[in-house]
Amino acid sequence: MTRSIDQVAQSYIHSPNKRKKLYKRTLLIVGLSQMFAGAGLAAGITVGALLAQQMLGTEAGAGLPTAIFNLGSAGAALIVGWLSQRYGRRTGLATGFIAGGIGAIGVIIAAVINSLFLLFISLFIYGAGTATNLQARYAGTDLASPKQRATAISMAMVFTTFGAVAGPNLVGITGKLALAMNVPELTGPFILAAFAYILAGLIFSIMLRPDPLLIARAIEANKQDHDIQANPTPYVHKTNKRGVAVGAIVMVVTQIVMFAIMTMTPVHMQHHGHGLGAVGIVIGFHIGLMYLPSLITGVLIDKIGRNTMTIAAGVILLFAGLVAAMAPGNSMFFLILSLSLLGLGWNLGLISGTAQIVDSTDPLTRAKTQGTVDVLIALAGAAGGVLSGVIVAHYSYAILSLGGGILCLILIPLVVLAKENKEKNALEISEKL
């Protein structure tokens, strides 16, 4: 007879050693799933804009795929967050990834029958994979100590690197596979995405037992029971709204800028005579720098601090925008440099902001808050995708890149003010005591 989660949790509540083992096992499971999920994520980024441009026959709509799958990601973030809050990480993450795989299959069918309506619907559903890919980073933090949280987030992102870098560099191979299957060449990466997302979902469904979020909740509930016995006052959920707001703004700004510049880079490259192989190399470097530096950046964020590394993110993103704006369009070196800096800046912003969110919530309400914040991140990506096509069509890629870099400077006063408010509140509390 299967024991209930409450019975299973009891053995973890009283055994720090078992919790440590489950924490490490959870990181490995998250890492394994993210290796495949990264490949699924890369499809829409690499050829989504090119596929839409081909089917629409106009450049102005090239940002629509990014916008649509980010809108789908926003809706999915809410659903995955709700499912995780109610049933645990396993159910939420498995459902989200499998939905993303079904969306990728729909994109392939839409391209075959040349249906824009089905393309947009499928991209919307495909966005579930993007949302779940982001929310998977939280699973590793459920049983992490405060000093391990950014490192735990970074571990999930490091494993994403393998699939995310391989995906763009398999554009040529998957394109040939698509042609061999008698479907359009640009659907090749979505064939890979369908397989990768569904496999990632199955890994979570089968292997993520016991559920780390449910165990973390049981541990927190047990702690609260002891606290109430010692001090019988009504318990208030420990959500730091200012901390949540700062973390959310950091991630929203970095997401808008990253998606805007990244979305239009393949189109910009085609204008200067670069082929799909070159596009795959540039996007591969970009995605590699989005995830691989997590080996170091997560540890730095835990040791140096969330605020300091957020400022570093703003500065790096500014340089990314400047290089992209001023670089010759036919120079692979500068294209790789600008997109690499863009990926690194996003990495620092995402991990810093995510750690801030985890720091500001407790396990009993954390998944719901995380899902809500990820809705904002997805909407930011959608806005960046839509605006990028419009700005490039009416102005230029240089104006888009320069504007994005300047926008990131807002992160510096944001964290300075947040730090001042935190210090002021701490001083007021100490004076009262």
Closest CA to 259 of 68, 52, 35: 68
Q: pLDDT at position 153, please?
A: 87
Closest CA to 286 of 30, 100, 45: 45
Q: pLDDT at position 63, please?
A: 65
Q: pLDDT at position 430, please?
A: 42
DSSP class of residue 210 equals S
Q: pLDDT at position 4, please?
A: 55
Q: pLDDT at position 427, please?
A: 38
Mutual orientation of helices 188-207 and 149-169 as an angle, nearest 10°? 150
10-residue stretch averages of pLDDT, the chain, 433 residues long:
60 85 93 88 70 72 72 89 92 96 94 90 92 87 86 85 74 86 90 93 95 88 66 57 90 93 88 84 86 88 91 95 91 94 95 91 83 88 83 91 93 78 46 43
A 10 A CB-CB count for 417 gives 11
Q: pLDDT at position 235, please?
A: 46
**Phi, psi at 360, each rounded to 5°:** -95, 5
Closest CA to 46 of 194, 171, 160: 171
Q: Positive or negative CA dihedral for 149, 304, 311, 290?
A: negative
- Distance, in Å, from the CA atom of 22 to the CA atom of 328, rounded to the nearest integer, reads 50
- Distance, in Å, from the CA atom of 285 to the CA atom of 343, rounded to the nearest integer, reads 8
Place of tokens 């400022």: 311
Closest CA to 376 of 70, 170, 104, 91: 70
Cβ(229)–Cβ(376) below 8 Å:
no
Q: pLDDT at position 167, please?
A: 73
Cβ(262)–Cβ(45) below 8 Å:
yes
Domains and CATH numbers, the chain: 14-221+237-432 (1.20.1250.20)
**Phi, psi at 275, each rounded to 5°:** -90, 180
Q: pLDDT at position 92, please?
A: 95
If you compute the radius of gyration of the chain from its CA atoms, what whole number of angstroms results?
Answer: 22
Tell how far CA 64 is from the center of its chain.
Answer: 19
**pTM of the predicted protein model:** 0.77
